[in-house]
Amino acid sequence: MKSGLEDVIAAETKLSDVDGATGRLIIRGVSLDDLVATSRFEDVAALLLDGLFDEHVDADSIRVRLGAARVALFQHVEAADAVLLALPPVDAMRALLARVEDGENFEDAIKLMAAPAVFLPAVLRMQKGDKPLKPDASLSQSADILRMLTGRVPSAEQTAGLDAYLVTISDHGLNASTFASRVIASTHAGLTSSVLAAISALKGPLHGGAPGPVLDMLDGVGTPENARAWLSHALDHGERLMGFGHRIYRVRDPRADALKTVLKPIFASGQADQARIALAEAIESAALALLHERKPDRPLETNVEYYTALLLDALGFPRNAFTGVFAIGRTIGWIAHAREQTLDGRLIRPQSRYVGPVPKAA
C-alpha cells in the first residue's frame, strides 16, 4: 500500500507523458519546446481533444466557438453577489462554473474552456469595485482574457506570453487534479463535474497553489545580495522554498525554461520591471546552491511555478489569482482525460485496507 499512490499506474493515456528522470514532457506526440514555439491556446485544445468527441475538432473552429461561448457565458457573471465575491478568486470562479450544465459533448467542452476565461477576469475586476468587461468574440482566448482583466488590448508579446503559459500547463500526466477529473468521469457524472473536482484538487498549495508564495519570497528577499541569507534563514526554520522540488522531476522541470524564454521579450520591451527578473535569477541560483548543499541526496530543482509567478505578475494578474489562471489552461487537459476515461475506462473504485477496531465478540 502506497498512501501517495507513487508508481501505481491507474490509467493508460495517449495525452501526455512526463519523464521525470530526463526532464522531458510530451503532449500528444509533440515535445513541450516545439509545442510552446508553435501553438496558441486554441491549437493545443485541438491537439488534445482531437478524436475524443463525435465532431471534427480544429483550432480555427475552436477559436470561433470559444469566442461565441465567452459572450454567451457572460450572463452568469450577474450571479456574482457579495458572498461569492468575498471568496478567493479561484473559489469564486469555481462557484460560477458550477452554473454550467453538465454534459458530454463537444459544445459542453467548449463552454467549460470558455467559462474560466470569462469568470476569472470578471471576478477580479468586481473584487476591485470595477465593472466586469464583456467578452470580445473577435479576439483569441488569450488576448480576450488579458483585455477583460486590464481593460486594454494586450501587446503581441503579452498575448504570446499568456498563450505560452496556457500551452505549457495544458496537460501533465496523471497529476492530482487530472486524476480527480478521471475519477469523476469514470462515474459518467458529466464534464462540468469533472472540471469542478479538478479545480478543487488544483487549489491546494502542494499542487497549483505555489506561484503566489513565490512572489512573496521575491518580495521578502528584496535584493540579490540578500538572497542567500534570507533563504538560509527560511530553511533553518523548516520552510520549503517555493518553486523548487517536484514529485516526478529529478532534474529541472522543462516547463520552467519554456516560461523563462517567453518572459524575456516582455521584460526586454519595457512592459515589466527588468530588475525583477535579475532578482529572480539571483534567488534561483542561491536557492539551488543551498538546496544542493542541504539535501545532497535529493535532487531539488526549479519547478514550473517559479517562472509562472514572474510571468503572470508581469501580465497583470494579482498573485491571489494565479491558481485560477492555471485552471484556465489545465481545463483542456482535464476535459481530454475525462473523455478518455469515459470512452475507454471503467468505474474507478480502489480498495482500502481496514485497520480500525472490530466489534467485540459476543
Site residues (vs ligand COA, CB under 6 A): 206, 210, 240-247, 295, 298, 300, 303-305
What CA dihedral angle connects 19, 195, 336 and 6, to 10 degrees? 30
CB atoms within 10 A of CB 13: 18
- For ligand COA, which is the closer residue by CB, 63 or 255? 255
Q: What are the DSSP calls for 277-291, one per residue? A: HHHHHHHHHHHHHHH
Contact 9, 345 (CB under 8 A): no
Least distance in Å: CB of 234 to ligand COA? 8
Least distance in Å: CB of 298 to ligand COA? 5
CB atoms within 10 A of CB 257: 16
Is the four-CA dihedral 93, 94, 98, 100 of positive or negative sign?
A: positive
Q: Which residue is nearest to ligand COA (CB)?
A: 245
Least distance in Å: CB of 257 to ligand COA? 14
Does the annotation mark 246 as catalytic? yes
The Cα–Cα gap between 205 and 50 comes to: 32
Least distance in Å: CB of 300 to ligand COA? 5
- For ligand COA, which is the closer residue by CB, 42 or 305? 305
Least distance in Å: CB of 77 to ligand COA? 30
The Cα–Cα gap between 151 and 119 comes to: 15
Contact 267, 276 (CB under 8 A): yes
Over the Cα atoms of the chain, what is R_g? 21
- For ligand COA, which is the closer residue by CB, 36 or 143? 36
- For ligand COA, which is the closer residue by CB, 190 or 245? 245
Least distance in Å: CB of 284 to ligand COA? 12
Whats the size of the chain, residue-wise? 362
The Cα–Cα gap between 333 and 248 comes to: 18
- For ligand COA, which is the closer residue by CB, 27 or 80? 27
* Matching residue, cell 519570497: 217
The Cα–Cα gap between 324 and 89 comes to: 7
Cα 66 to Cα 86, 191, 280, 301, 346, distances in angstroms: 28, 16, 35, 37, 31
Q: Which of 172, 246, 337, 340 is catalytic?
A: 246
Contact 285, 267 (CB under 8 A): no
Cα 93 to Cα 168, 183, 211, 233, distances in angstroms: 22, 22, 18, 36
Q: Which of 42, 284, 305, 340 is catalytic?
A: 305
- For ligand COA, which is the closer residue by CB, 67 or 245? 245
Does the annotation mark 233 as catalytic? no
- For ligand COA, which is the closer residue by CB, 23 or 132? 23
Least distance in Å: CB of 99 to ligand COA? 30
Active-site positions?
246, 305
